[in-house]
């Protein structure tokens, strides 16, 4: 497995199932209709790509090589588990001057900063000191609840206002030498977008791309024009079942949850989703948030944002922005679905069906 952006010893929620598609062959000019699946490992998780239509002359092996190369570049740019990545070098630097980075890293940080401002700091890429403190980062700390003093010390170096990004020429700048950036809540979505754009450039007209549960689709899954059927996982630790199936049509969807990545101490469960504003793991009844957005990068960041905001504030935040999303709230021993109006109008109108198992 490549060194990762996402902590490898605990896999983040992979709220995703791809329903088996019947892929038909055709005699279209310059196009083969095939049932090709590409799969591999990246960012501490796995990826899967379903291709319905592939331009004549392309091979699955060639496409997979191109995908792996693209994802490896992202790891080299944004991994916090590689000391030589440009993000790790920025984090290790004590300089408060502009630090040159790739256009890709600057693009992702710029989007993270936009979401931070839009969410009032509920999403914050400078959360890295807290991620390490709570044993979810590359410091490899033991699972333990930090002291109030340690928490206060780390929080002093967190805040999106302490970070600047410049797109031309691409660079990052910190006002506090101890600021460090973690892009794990947005980088998988960006990776999905990069792979989708790669497939577009190679003439692939119908596909499903998934990395660690973040999904982007294009075109129909078969010659009959059927949409891709994507399952949102039921948020139960230790089990794999589908809560709801949605039909995606040239959509990006990301899901964030607190039921796969956590540790327990003193009989209490501590989620990997941290609220940058308090410095502590979330403690509310929202257990899963699936968000649709024009890009998977944005959907990824929004899903994390809503998980931090919680079932009431997060729902209102989505509705105010007319964002399509499905929240799953735990009420006693039951799970209650809470779709936004935009989700109901966009997804449920496609007659997606509910499912109990993958």
What is the Cβ-side half-sphere exposure of residue 93, based on CA atoms within 13 angstroms? 19
Q: Which residues contact 51 (CB under 8 A, 6 or more apart)?
A: 34, 36, 37, 38, 60, 63, 199, 204, 206, 207
What are 305-335's pLDDT values in tens digits? 999 999 999 999 999 999 999 999 999 888 9
> Which of 266, 261, 310, 316 is closest to 289 using CA atoms?
310
Of 271 and 323, which is predicted with more confidence? 323
Say if 163 falls within a structural domain.
yes
> What are the structure tokens assigned to 75, written together?
């790891």
Say if 109 falls within a structural domain.
yes
Say if 37 falls within a structural domain.
no
Q: For residue 271, give Cα distances in angstroms to 73, 134, 146, 347.
A: 30, 9, 14, 29
Say if 60 falls within a structural domain.
no
Say if 20 falls within a structural domain.
no
Give the span between the Cα atoms of 246 and 18, in whole angstroms. 10
Widest pairwise Cα distance in the chain: 68
Angle (CA) 95-188-54 rounded to 5° is: 130
Q: What are phi and psi of 231, to 5 degrees?
A: -95, 135
Q: What is the CATH number of the domain that holds 140?
A: 1.10.3980.10
Q: How many Cβ atoms sit within 10 Å of the Cβ of residue 27?
A: 7
| 141 pLDDT tier (thresholds 50, 70, 90) | low
Domain count, the chain: 1
User: What pLDDT sits at residue 72?
Assistant: 97
3-state secondary structure of 64: helix
Token look-up 């969410």 returns: 119
Predicted structure pTM score: 0.87
What are 90-111's pLDDT values in tens digits? 999 999 999 999 999 999 999 9
**Is residue 328 within 8 Å of 293, Cβ to Cβ?**
no
Boundaries of domain holding 105: 82-174
Say if 125 falls within a structural domain.
yes
User: What pLDDT sits at residue 233?
Assistant: 85
Say if 265 falls within a structural domain.
no
Say if 160 falls within a structural domain.
yes
Q: Which residues contact 195 (CB under 8 A, 6 or more apart)?
A: 47, 49, 67, 70, 71, 209, 211
């Amino acid at each position: 497995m490549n060194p990762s952006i996402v902590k490898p010893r605990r896999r983040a929620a992979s709220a995703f199932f791809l329903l088996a598609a019947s892929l038909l062959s055709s005699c279209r000019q310059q196009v083969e209709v095939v049932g090709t699946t590409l799969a591999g490992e990246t960012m501490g998780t796995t990826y899967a790509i379903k291709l319905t239509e592939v331009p004549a002359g392309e091979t699955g092996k060639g496409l997979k090589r191109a995908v792996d190369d693209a994802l490896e570049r992202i790891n080299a740019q944004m991994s916090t588990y590689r000391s030589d990545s440009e993000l790790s070098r920025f984090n290790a630097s004590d300089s408060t001057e502009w630090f040159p980075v790739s256009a890709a890293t600057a693009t992702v940080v710029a989007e993270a900063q936009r979401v931070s401002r839009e969410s009032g700091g509920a999403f914050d890429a400078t959360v890295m000191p807290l991620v390490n403190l709570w044993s979810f980062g590359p410091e490899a700390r033991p699972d333990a609840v930090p002291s109030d003093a340690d928490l206060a010390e780390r929080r002093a170096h967190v805040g999106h206002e302490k970070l600047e990004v410049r797109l031309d020429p691409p660079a990052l700048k910190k006002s506090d030498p101890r600021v460090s950036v973690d892009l794990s809540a947005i980088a998988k979505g960006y990776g999905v977008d990069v792979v989708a754009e790669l497939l577009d450039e190679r003439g692939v007209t119908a596909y499903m791309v998934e990395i660690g549960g973040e999904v982007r689709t294009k075109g129909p899954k078969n010659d009959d024009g059927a949409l891709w059927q994507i399952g949102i996982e039921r948020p139960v630790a230790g089990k794999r079942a589908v809560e709801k199936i949605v039909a995606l049509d040239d959509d990006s969807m990301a899901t964030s949850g607190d039921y796969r990545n956590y540790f327990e101490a003193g009989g209490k469960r501590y989620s990997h989703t941290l609220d940058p504003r308090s410095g502590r793991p979330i403690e509310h009844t929202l257990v899963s948030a699936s968000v649709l957005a024009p890009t998977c990068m944005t959907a990824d960041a929004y899903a994390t944002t809503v998980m931090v905001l919680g079932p009431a504030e997060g729902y209102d935040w989505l509705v105010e922005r007319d964002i399509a999303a499905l929240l799953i709230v735990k009420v006693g021993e039951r799970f209650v679905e809470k779709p936004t109006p935009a989700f109901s109008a966009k997804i449920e109108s496609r007659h997606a069906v509910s499912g109990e198992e993958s």
